[in-house]
């Protein structure tokens, strides 16, 4: 592999104009195609086969006219009169009427007329009470059920206007329609003195990219790169190539929307990942290119050697990330598969850019690649004539008491992992959105006026086709209502629909708690556990569905898939590292270190983002798919740092150094570059905590924490301490296994054979 990459790098340097032209043509062509065929993004968190979707299929058979809950572009406008006032006052009724009139002018609005909250509430109340009493319900029960669903709060201060955009599905809602609606509500709120907010699936909006988070991350990365290279031009190269790789990845994502559903947060996640790995991969190759220039004046040759050696490690590191993300297909969850593949595509472009575009740019710049010098540093030499840098000092410090270091790291990371036992996973909702968003404000108004459960209803679908008479069916449906109403945590249960031949009914179950509350999850479990009993008693078939049930089922499926995915990734990590290091103990310690960093990261994220410790953010459940995404990415990053540090140790050991000397030599050559790469990744990820999106904030923190734990605590502290303790045994591999395993030339040993002058590795004097 190293030989092939050498040829690629040297060719790209010599024929830089051809490679640059090919990249530009490809990006422009694909960008134009993406603009023509791309479709709107939408969050679709469904998994085939979950109980809630099975119940929804039963609902479609009994109520063919019922619309798919996930495709319904629902909109909930929430109006609140000032404190001490009521929407029944003439002033606010007039304002509500004016708003409803203006709503009719918006595009994609439903054809059915919309009523203001007061008029809708009065009409709905009378109709519901009369209908229930006509069917034999006592007046008190009829009135209580009617009040439970009114669009006007009991004190009259808060009211809702609910409708669905006239579109086939949520992605068909145009962003311009959403923007116009928000602007209209803002205008009416200012003129009326009311607070008017809006939420619902029809108001899903894609998080903004290209904002302060990216700029801050790039700024910190620029400072680190300037310190690393001491050159303004060299520092700018990783930033430029990373942006180019992210842009290419974004084009691929938008192309993918034409044939699959892509979530609204996917571009942000891909940007976060693409920037980090894009900068790091270019940094590794560029640092090696500079080192090679100390041994040759042939810049094309140096570029080839850099791509052949450091590029081999980049390919391996990138491959591990790609495999980890692609392995998300194993869990069989469609939206997670598309998210993983989208992120994997961005990583693929980052690797491709580092291997081809970077040497082409170096060929274009030639001697100016390290221009704009701002600093020059040369390490002092030790008694053996080797550079004495901070990496060497740290490695020697760890070697004094390695057992104590191992114990300290294990205890520290283990303690951080403890909060993970309380981890609560859920899917994002309007109730967990940032407090500054109109979606969250609307959710808070509804929760305060109508109760938390108003926004987390369940639908019990009842199939009564096995019962002969209509009277028997209606009696059975009544029993189901009574059964649901007596469950702990139910605020109200009532029949809301019966089909034409009375063979099926819908029972609305309103919890006392919100969708992100564990009590609501417990209620769903209790309803499911009691299904068989009520089915036997009524001779019906009962299924629980609704958007809350669907999201809860998805979260449970994701939680159940976590151990499977972790086992796949851990097993893969062990095999890949065994191929690279020709050892059993090195892969074992590397994999255990990966597990420690992941568990510590999840524990810290639970403590800060779920429990709200330190008051940095409002406590809320973690997004269900965050742990799996985190595991996939941390796996790739962990192998990245492991390869760049430990392959140097292995090379030194093979060339005659003792096991202890090899650890020090590995840090002499790799510690600075790995430290710079980790610092850049941490800054890029941490900057995304400034985004106004809870998913992105928690992912940014988790990834930044994971890189810190894995790079500085595990790879640069725990692993070298373990290498000291293992000594020569670290590199033991059974002879029979050594014969079976294929040879992976990650460090370019074949290139050293082709070029004997490279037998001695170049020293990173001013890295």
Q: For the ranges 113-117, 288-292, 709-713, which has the lowest average pLDDT? A: 288-292
Average pLDDT for 582-591: 88
pLDDT value for 165? 93
Mean pLDDT of 431-452: 90
CATH T-level fold of 393-430+561-733: Multidrug efflux transporter AcrB transmembrane fold (1.20.1640)
Looking at residue 377, its pLDDT comes to 59
245 neighbors 349 (Cβ within 8 angstroms) = yes
Residue 209 has pLDDT above 60, yes or no: no
Query: DSSP for 162-210?
Result: EEE-SSSSGGGS-HHHHHHHHHHHHHHHHHH--EEEEESGGG--PPP-S
Q: Which one-letter DSSP state was computed for residue 509? A: E
Residue spans of beta strands (DSSP E) within 339-489: 425-426, 458-463
Please give the average per-residue pLDDT across 333-352, as a whole number: 80
The two domains 1-41+212-377+750-767 and 393-430+561-733 share their CATH topology (first three levels equal): yes
Across all residues in the chain, what is the average pLDDT? 84
Instruction: Judge whether residue 479 has pLDDT over 50.
Output: yes
* 1-41+212-377+750-767: CATH, from 1.20.1640.10, 1.10.287.610, 3.10.20.30, 1.10.3720.10: 1.20.1640.10
Instruction: Write down the architecture of domain 73-205 according to CATH.
Output: 2-Layer Sandwich (3.30)
Per-residue pLDDT at 321: 78
Reduced to 3 states, what is the DSSP secondary structure of residue 161? strand
In this structure, of 62-76, 99-113, 499-513, the range with the lowest mean pLDDT score is 62-76
CA distances from 353 to 219, 292, 401 (A): 21, 20, 42
Q: How many residues are there in the chain?
A: 767
Domain boundaries, the chain: 1-41+212-377+750-767, 73-205, 393-430+561-733
Residue 208, pLDDT score: 54
Residue 384 has a pLDDT of 64
The pLDDT of residue 523 is: 96
Integer Cα distance of 114 and 98 in angstroms: 12
Please state the separation of Cα 495 from the chain's center in Å: 39
Residue position matching structure tokens 């708690």? 513
pLDDT recorded at residue 621? 83
Predicted structure pTM score: 0.78
Q: Where are the beta strands (DSSP E) in 358-503?
A: 425-426, 458-463, 490-498
pLDDT (tens digit, 9 = 90+) per residue, 134-168? 877 888 888 888 899 999 999 999 999 999 999 88
């Amino acid at each position: 592999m190293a030989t092939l990459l050498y040829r690629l790098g040297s060719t790209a340097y010599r024929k830089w104009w051809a490679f640059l032209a090919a990249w530009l043509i490809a990006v422009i062509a694909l960008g134009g195609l993406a603009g023509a065929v791309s479709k709107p993004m939408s969050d679709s968190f469904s998994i085939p086969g979950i109980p809630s979707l099975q119940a929804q299929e039963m609902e479609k058979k009994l109520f063919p006219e019922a619309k798919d809950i996930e495709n319904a572009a629902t909109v909930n406008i929430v109006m609140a009169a000032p404190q001490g006032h009521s929407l029944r006052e003439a002033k606010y009724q007039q304002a509500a009427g004016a708003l409803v009139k203006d709503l009719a002018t918006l595009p994609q609005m439903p054809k059915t007329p919309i009523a203001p909250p007061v008029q809708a509430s009065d009409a709905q109340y009378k109709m519901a009470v009369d209908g229930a009493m006509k069917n034999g319900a006592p007046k008190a029960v009829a009135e209580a059920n009617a009040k439970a669903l009114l669009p006007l709060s009991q004190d009259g201060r808060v009211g809702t206007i609910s409708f669905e955009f006239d579109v086939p599905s949520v992605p068909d809602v145009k962003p311009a329609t959403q923007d116009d609606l928000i602007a209209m509500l803002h205008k009416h709120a200012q003129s009326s003195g009311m607070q008017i907010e809006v939420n619902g699936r029809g108001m899903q909006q894609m998080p903004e990219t290209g904002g302060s988070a990216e700029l801050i991350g790039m700024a910190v990365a620029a400072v680190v790169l300037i310190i690393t290279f001491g050159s303004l031009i060299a520092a700018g190269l990783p930033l430029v190539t990373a942006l180019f790789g992210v842009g290419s990845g974004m084009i691929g994502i938008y192309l993918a929307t034409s044939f699959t559903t892509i979530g609204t947060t996917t571009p942000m996640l891909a940007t976060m990942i693409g920037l980090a790995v894009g900068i790091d991969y270019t940094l590794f190759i560029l640092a090696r290119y500079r080192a090679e220039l100390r041994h040759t004046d042939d810049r094309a040759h140096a570029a080839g050697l850099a791509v052949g050696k450091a590029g081999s490690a980049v390919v391996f590191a990138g491959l591990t990330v790609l495999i980890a993300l692609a392995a998300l297909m194993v869990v069989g969850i469609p939206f997670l598969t598309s998210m993983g593949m989208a992120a994997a595509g961005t990583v693929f472009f980052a690797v491709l850019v580092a291997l081809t575009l970077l040497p082409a740019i170096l060929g274009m710049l030639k001697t100016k690649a390290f221009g704009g010098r701002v600093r020059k540093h040369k390490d002092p030499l030790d008694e053996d004539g080797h550079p004495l840098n901070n990496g060497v000092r740290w490695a020697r410090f760890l070697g004094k008491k390695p057992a104590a270091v191992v114990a300290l790291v294990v205890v520290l990371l283990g303690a951080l992992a403890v909060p993970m036992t309380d981890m609560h996973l859920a899917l994002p909702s309007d109730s967990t959105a940032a407090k500054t968003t109109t979606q969250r404000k609307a959710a808070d108004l509804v929760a305060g006026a109508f109760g938390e459960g108003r926004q987390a209803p369940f639908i019990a679908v009842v199939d009564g086709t096995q019962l002969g008479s209509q009277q028997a069916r209606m009696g059975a449906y009544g029993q189901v209502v009574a059964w649901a109403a007596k469950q702990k945590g139910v605020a109200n249960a009532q029949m809301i629909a019966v089909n034409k031949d009375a063979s099926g009914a819908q029972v609305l179950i309103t919890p006392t708690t919100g969708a992100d509350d564990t009590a609501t999850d417990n209620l769903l479990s209790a309803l499911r556990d009691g299904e068989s009993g009520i089915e036997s008693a009524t001779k019906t078939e009962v299924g629980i569905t609704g958007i809350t049930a669907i999201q809860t089922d998805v979260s449970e499926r994701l939680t159940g898939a976590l151990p499977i995915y972790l086992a796949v990734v851990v097993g893969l990590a062990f095999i890949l590292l065994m191929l690279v290091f020709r050892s059993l103990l090195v892969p074992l310690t590397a994999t255990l270190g990966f597990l420690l960093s992941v568990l510590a990261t999840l524990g810290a994220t639970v403590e800060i983002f779920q429990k709200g410790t330190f008051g940095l953010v409002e406590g809320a459940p973690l997004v269900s798919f965050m742990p799996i995404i985190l595991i996939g990415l941390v796996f790739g990053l962990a192998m990245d740092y492991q390869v760049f540090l430990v392959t140097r140790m292995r090379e030194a050991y093979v060339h005659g150094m003792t096991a202890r000397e090899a650890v020090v030599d590995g840090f002499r050559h790799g510690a600075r570059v790995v430290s710079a790469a980790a610092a850049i990744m941490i800054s890029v990820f941490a900057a995304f905590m400034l985004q106004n999106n809870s998913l992105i904030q928690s992912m940014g923190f988790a990834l930044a924490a994971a890189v810190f734990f894995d790079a500085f605590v595990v790879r640069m502290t725990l692993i070298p301490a373990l290498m000291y303790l293992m000594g020569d045994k670290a590199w033991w591999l059974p002879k029979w296994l050594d014969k079976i395993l294929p040879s992976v030339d990650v460090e370019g040993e074949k290139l050293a054979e082709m070029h004997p002058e490279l037998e001695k590795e170049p020293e990173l004097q001013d890295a």
